[in-house]
Structure 1
Amino acid sequence: MPVALPGAHAAQDRTEGPVQRQALSRPVAWEFNWTSLKASDGSPISLLGGSAMLAVNEDWGLGPTVYGAAKGDFGGLFVFGVTGQRRWRLGSNTHLAASLFAGGGGGRSSDIVRFGGGLMLRPELSVRTEFGRWYAGAGVSHLRFTSGNLRGSQLSLSFGRMGLFDGFDATGDGGTGAMGMRSGLGFDEVSLSSTVYSPSASQTSRSGRALDRRLGLVGADLRQYFTPGSWLGLEASGAAKGGIDGYMEVLGTAGQDWALGNTGLRVGGHVALGLAGGGDMATGSGWIWRAGPNLRWQSPWGPALRIEAGKVWSRGTFSAPFVRASLAMPLEPMARRAEPDAMLEASVHEQTLFASVQRIRDVQFKDGSREGMTQQGLLVTRTLGRHVYAAAAAGAAVQGKAGAYAYGLFGAGLRSDLLMNTGWRVGGELLIGAGGGGGVGLGGGALRQSEAWVQWQGQDAYKPLRLRIGLGRWQDLRGRGEAVPQLNLALGYAWGTL
């Protein structure tokens, strides 16, 4: 089975009394690749890409992907989108993979590198060898910004790990479920965060501008705990204050903390490594790393408050002490952290991953012009009750002159019951966060997005599918404060999670 683990299968719907048992199990592949190419003047650029691809059937996988600059003086080049992949079995431990990535983003434009509207395509053909759940391979790929000048064909390297995506029938939302493993993508906790960097008086941007004030970021992270005090995670943040709109970070994190008696307080340390840049920040090739102590108050009912401090360094001239505060909410029962394989019961929540295309009309640019912008993004929602849900979104421009514009948002929404027992429901949401780049005139980076929507829900064999159409307003919170209309089209896949 090319995409799946040996023995992986789609579980059958099962109900034992009032408790819903696991009803979904699909293979998922966590995959990374390395792409090296040259700019028009011969300058080297390397991109590191990461994907989480869910098996659609025995041969096809589909999932979100992010690329970031990891070599060359192009720190801050980020592209977000979706990868589709087809695999063919060549031998007992070998397979051929054909992939196509489509997404939006970019970085600092110049006479040498231009990203145009931001749409990037990357087809790849590679051969991989499997080592148990792990695999590695090499192939050829072609990267192209369709309306820019960064393009080229090259050898590419890939490696990944295969796992399982477990969950429940999404129509079981609100009932009780039992599962003996983590559901969905396997994370235990999600948090919203605010970070403050305090660069020294001697720090300057790429262009030589003095960084003479504190820099504010907002973001989110996901964690998986191996014990109640040790974790690995993923984190993303964007500039919201300090005149560095367009700056973004995507990091992998790890940490350990220890309980202070029975107070709920835990003290320890953390490290993070990843890619960052944009907003005229001097991060060099894009690599940054961060370390320091942390304090966590873990409530007995799930939510947690976290404070982290320390210092961040980059491959460029940027470095600074920082303080980060986070509010964390559990995605799995708390007992899962101490007993990963225990059969646990909890309420089932519907979680949906949407791929969306948004058209924003009459956007103000820094050069004084006004023009429409199309952006492609990902939206994740999770029900908190029958009519309330939490949401997080990220994406980038793919059309217009805003190539390199990217955003990250989080918030909440309200939704109705299904209307008259049909597959339709209505709702609305409010998201806040940060965005910037591509010459879009955001004063500091903070923005708000509000939307009213109507959604169709699939039936029978298509019941995990969701199709949403929304109308709303997109607003700059720190600049001119104006709001402009937006249209949103989104296609989603839903599942149940504890």
Structure 2
Amino acid sequence: MVKNTLSLLSIALIPALAPAVAMAESEPTPPLNYAQQSVASMVKFSLESVKMSSNERMGLLGGNYLLEVQQDLFLGPAVYSSVTGKRGGLYVGGIEASLRKTVSPSLSIEPGMYIGGGGGGSAGVGGGLMLRPHLDLMLRNKGSSFGLSISQVRFPSGHITSNQIGLVASLDETFIYTQPELAGQSMLSSERGGLGFDRIMINGGSYQPRSGTTKLDGSTAGKIGYAGFRADHFLHEHVFWGLEGGAFAHGSSDGYAEVLGAVGIEYPLISNKFKVGAIAALGTGGGGRINVGGGALVKGSVYAQWQITDQVFIGLEGGMANSPNGNFRSRYELVQIGMKLDSANKSSHSDDLRQINGAEWALDGADYLKAARKSGAKESLQTIGFVMNRDITSSTYLTAQAHSALRGNAGGFSIGLVGAGIRSPEIGHGISFGLEGLIGAAGGGGVDSQGGAVVQAIPYANFALNKHIGLRLGVGRIHSLKGEFNSNVANAALVVKFGLPSR
């Protein structure tokens, strides 16, 4: 089954990687004097103790990436997950809006609101909708801030309403972009575009829990298929940090997911085409009845990568995963296929030739019709999701997506998808059409996605509202490779388009 999953992952990428190879061999467009634009952004983390019942508390870790869409108004994706207590596997993803009101050069007040969906860890989340209004008092110093957050965490259709004071910290960043119509051109710039990731990759393989590792129901945790992704940012030639996430896609633990931050080192072994490295990662994991305690997870691994073309690489990775306050201990082996997006700046005082690639971010809402449950029932469920697309050519792109349940008695249900898409030129009045082919993992919330592996196809129509924003409407089908979760799906997405300069 793992081999089948890896084959499907490769098939999903073929339409996108073929043009990438061709682009690597083509002549670069002469650089023009385009003006890049920038918008203030911030990376924000919070940690608080949420009251689950009269005798239970859960440590909740939050992570946000927010862009200043208007003066002092920040908006962006956010995710919250359990790190302490006994609800490991609780994940909630959604969107955060925050105001920054400066009181003095060293003090700001930041009220905000989070809306998202998810669940897990057998918590009383109802349909999965989570609201988190908050007020943060921040001390500021040279681009960083820390302080206290007064917040309420509430699941309106569940049994959790908690008021608390927590810790919060943030780092100020800059998001570099260009106008979307400049995609395919080149420019001189000393700065990376977008989030600043230098490469992205998808991973597929297996986890092999150590002997004696048992699940929450007392059963033995056998070999489990895994699918995920990682994105890396190099601080200089040999040192990088990254973000990674994944889910179990085969076995009896559908619903397990993990999200981690990582640091690593990498060196060429024979030439610049063959490299070896090591990674240490810390984050959260859980679900699928895997015993991770409160949800904290640490991982360590080594890997080897071979650069096939200037843009495309493959690799092998092996390591160990450990839940410090659970009994989950596992060896894992992964196959990687990825794409180079950029590289660390050679000099902060000189410009480099950078290609402008089209990109899209989207806030997505979907309705999975008559979704099969493990109980035998069929009931529709609704999700909220965040989508990131990056153009390979003007008509093809890579996509990474994460969706979590908001309604439909499926709190804790989540889907992670990667794949490729193809789109038509506009045919008039800003209308275009497209098709996405995706593969990934889904589980939780009692949905019958046995094993977790799913494939999805979505034809869609896109309606441009202006040169930056569009409305995308799609109707398609999701299919569980082993379970009964085979549903028609309708989705609507608000899409933001921009260009990203990259070396």
TM-score (norm 2): 0.91
Q: By how many angstroms is 1:348 displaced?
A: 1.6
User: Residue 418 of structure 1 is aligned with which of 426, 441, 446?
Assistant: 426
1:360 to 350, 354, 368: 368
Q: What amino acid is aligned across from residue 405 of structure 2 in structure 1?
A: A
Counterparts in 2 of 1:68-87, with a 5 A limit? 68-87=81-100
**Alpha-carbon shift at residue 156 of structure 1 (Å):** 2.0
Task: Work out whether residues 58 and 85 of structure 2, in 8 Å CA contact, stay in contact via their aligned partners in 1.
Answer: yes
User: Offset of 1:351 from its aligned partner?
Assistant: 0.7
What letter matches 1:399 in structure 2?
Answer: R
1:491 equivalenced with 2:500 (yes/no): no
1:388 is aligned to 2:392: no
Change (3 A) 1:455 1:340: farther
Determine if contact 2:244/2:259 at 8 Å carries over to the other structure.
yes
More displaced 10-residue stretch of structure 1: 59-68 or 150-159: 150-159
Query: Does residue 223 of structure 2 align to residue 219 of structure 1?
Result: no
In the alignment, what sits opposite 1:8? none
**Change over 3 Å in CA distance of 1:319–1:441 after alignment to 2:** same
- Asked if the contact 1:21–1:179 (Cα under 8 Å) also holds between the matched residues in 2, the reply is no
Which residue matches 1:13?
A: none
Q: Distance in 1 between the 2:190 and 2:427 partners?
A: 34
- Which deviates more, 265-274 or 114-123? 265-274
- Cα offset for 1:217? 1.1
Answering whether residue 441 of structure 2 is matched by residue 434 of structure 1, we say yes
Give the conservation status (yes or no) of the 8 Å contact 1:165–1:184. Answer: yes
**Could you tell me which of 309, 326, 336 is aligned with 2:318?**
309
Aligned counterparts, 1:192-231, within 5 A: 192-211=202-221, 213-231=222-240
How many Å separate the matches in 2 of 1:401 and 1:342?
55
Q: 2:331 aligns with which of 309, 315, 321?
A: 321
Q: Deviations over 1:229-276 (max 9, x none)?
A: 221000010110111000000011111122113262222321111100
1:182 aligns with 2:195: no
In 2, Cα distance between the equivalents of 1:105 and 1:198? 27
2:190 touches 2:347 (CA, 8 Å); kept in 1?
no
Cα distance, 1:144–1:19 mapped onto 2, change above 3 Å: same
Give the letter aligned to residue 470 of structure 2: R
Which residue, 91, 95, 103 being the options, matches 2:108?
Answer: 95
Q: Which amino acid aligns with 1:243?
A: S
- Corresponding residue for 1:12? none
> What is the CA RMSD across the aligned residues, in angstroms?
1.7
Name the structure 2 match of 1:3: none
Distance 1:262 1:192 in 2: 23
Deviation at 1:493, TM superposition (A): 1.5
**After superposition, what is the alpha-carbon deviation per residue over 1:43-100, rounded to whole angstroms, capped at 9, x for unaligned?**
1111000000000111100000010101101110000000001111101121110110
Question: Within 1, Cα distance between the matches of 2:367 and 2:33?
Answer: 40
Q: Aligned partners of 2:33, 2:180: CA distance in 1, in Å? A: 11
**Superposition deviation, residue 383 in structure 1:** 1.0
- The whole-number CA distance in structure 2 between the counterparts of 1:285 and 1:148 is 20
Larger displacement relative to structure 2 (167-176 or 182-191): 167-176
Match for 2:49: what amino acid?
A: S
Does structure 2 retain, via aligned residues, the 8 Å contact 1:181–1:342? no
Distance change in 2, residues 1:339/1:328 (3 Å): farther
Q: Is the 8 A contact 1:268 1:294 kept in 2?
A: yes
Q: Which residue of 2 aligns with 1:345?
A: 353
1:172: how far off?
1.1
Distance 2:349 2:155 in 1: 45
**Matching residue of 1:31:** 44
Asked if structure 1 preserves the Cα contact closer than 8 Å seen for 2:371 and 2:486, the reply is: no
2:146 paired residue number: 136
1:46 and 2:59 correspond: yes
Is contact 1:375–1:395 with CA below 8 Å preserved after alignment? yes
Higher relative contact order (CA 8 A, sep 6+): 2
Runs of 4+ in 1 over 4 A off after TM superposition: 337-342
Partner of 2:246, secondary structure, is strand
Contact 2:373–2:448, Cα closer than 8 Å, also in 1? yes
Deviations 1:170-222 (A, max 9, x none): 111222233210100111111111131111332210110111x3111101111
Q: What is the distance in 2 between the residues matched to 1:358 and 1:188?
A: 31
What is the aligned partner in structure 1 of residue 285 from structure 2?
A: 276
Over 3 Å counting, the alpha-carbon distance change for 1:395 and 1:140 in structure 2 is: same
State the match for 2:12 in structure 1. Answer: none
Give the gaps of 5 or more residues in structure 1: 1-15
SS in 2 for 1:62: strand
3-state DSSP of counterpart to 2:89: coil
AA in 2 matched with 1:122: R
Gaps of 5+ in 2: 1-28
Secondary structure (helix, strand or coil) at the match of 1:89 reads: strand
Q: Which amino acid aligns with 1:48?
A: L
Q: Given that residues 20 and 175 in structure 1 are in contact (C-alpha distance below 8 angstroms), is that contact kept between their aligned partners in structure 2?
A: no
- Name the % identity: 30
- Alignment-mate amino acid for residue 58 of structure 1: Q
Deviation at 1:299, TM superposition (A): 4.2
1:252 alignment counterpart:
261
Q: Kindly provide the CA deviation profile for residues 288-335 of structure 1, in whole angstroms up to 9, marking residues without a partner as x.
A: 111132212234512222222121111200101111221120222x4x
Contact 2:372 2:448 in 1 (8 A): yes
Deviates more, 1:219-228 or 1:372-381: 219-228
Q: Which amino acid aligns with 1:275?
A: T
CA contact (8 A) 2:273 2:306 kept: yes
Taking structure 1 as the reference length, what is the TM-score of the superposition? 0.92
> What is the aligned partner in structure 2 of residue 472 from structure 1?
476
Whether the aligned pair in 2 keeps the contact of 1:356 and 1:376 (CA below 8 Å) is: yes
1:446 counterpart residue number? 453
In 1, are the aligned partners of 2:311 and 2:341 still within 8 Å (CA)?
Answer: no
